[in-house]
Amino acid sequence: MRVLVTGGVRSGKSRHAAGLLAGRDRVTFVAPGPVADGSDPDWEIRVAHHRAHRPTRWDTVETVDLASALGDAAGPVLVDCLGTWVTAVLDRAELWDAPMDAAHRLVDQHVAAIREALWEHDDEVVLVTNEVGYGVVPSHRSGGVFRDLLGSANQGVAEACDEVHLVVCGRVLRL
């Protein structure tokens, strides 16, 4: 079973995603966002919160290469989250100010590899992402770039999933 869990910030999506795999002894937790390095105290707090609420028997992999992480993992996998992954991909390629078609090409290539890895993985995979586009139109280019690329990535990953769960205010709607 492959499940994409989406919702707004602080909607309960990470808690729901972890609950889907709570009965499993070993889970590979893939954290594809920025590494907590002391440069952003707010990010440090978020990372610490997530670590504290993760079962100690789960293995953590911090990487931007989601396709390889899925291919290397044995057993169930939890990826949290695609929003931080898109940010990291754009940061590493320095594409925030590049033309949108260049950024789309890179993200689309990664998403194609992720889809292939999802289809090949022989155990449960739960992926968390942020739902974008419900709110205000971003006033800065980077916000629009992020919204558009994450929206496209979400659609591409959802194509390889058996279910999509929308989490709103801690409540889950299975789509």
Tokens encoding 35: 């590494």
Catalytic status, residue 50: yes
Asked, as a colleague might, if the bond just before 81 is cis with ω within 30 of 0, I would say yes
Of 49, 50, 121, 140, which residue is the catalytic one? 50
**Catalytic residue IDs:** 50
